[in-house]
Amino acid sequence: MRELGFLVADSNMAHSLHGLFGRDGWHLSVGCAAVEVGREDVHTAAGQCDPGLFVRAGELLRPFSARYRRMVVMVDAEWEGSPGAEAIRLRLRKHLEAAGWKEGTGLGLVLDPEVDAWLWTRTDHTARALGWSDWSTLEPALVEGGLWSAEQPKPPRPKEAAEWALRKSRKPRSSMIYEQVAGAVSLQRCGDPALAALRDALRRWFPRP
């Protein structure tokens, strides 16, 4: 049986996780014990997207119940008809329990408003992934374009800010952008609550010896 699996709503989430777990010594950045998480442990709910996974996660999880000791389900908070982050989190918890992961062995992770928040780290890694030369060039352009305020830790509309930056740099949008950023930046530089929740769960599940 594998230690940890993921069921995610889309390829952007999947590639973010590939970047995180594909880096050498990723567990040292997280602060947990070493555990193997391969690309084959990250499963995308093909054709479901966020609302589909919100509704059907229980049945989609069941085939993995004999394969993984611990499971994480990831859904964006923002989509048409969304009941909000907390309601999604509670529903995912029920799905996990129904599929066999009792309290403490499963995590419903809600990215609020969306996984694009993980792109924004105020580093050159983010700038280059979005087709810009460096962060000192990208940030003032975002501020001037009304997509960011200097007082905010991240753009309030992270997806729209990423799309704007890509249009300006004429770089095609690709899920590999998420993998590139997640594989390079320090986890300590990303203040996203969902990423912090994942980090805390990994530390709890796999404590350092």
Rounded Cα distance, 56 and 95, in Å: 8
Amino acid making up residue 75: V
Specify whether the CB–CB gap between 201 and 25 falls below 8 A.
no
Rounded Cα distance, 179 and 146, in Å: 27
For CATH 3.40.50, the residue range(s) in the chain are 2-116+179-205
Q: Write out pLDDT tens, residues 53-110.
A: 999 999 999 999 999 999 999 999 999 999 999 999 999 999 999 999 998 999 999 9
Q: Which of 158, 67, 71, 165 is nearest to 109 (CA)?
A: 71
Residues β-bridged to residue 43: 7
What is the value of pTM for the model shown? 0.93
Is domain 2-116+179-205 given the CATH code 3.40.50 in the classification? yes
Please tell me the predicted confidence (pLDDT) of residue 121: 87
Mean pLDDT, rounded, of the chain: 94
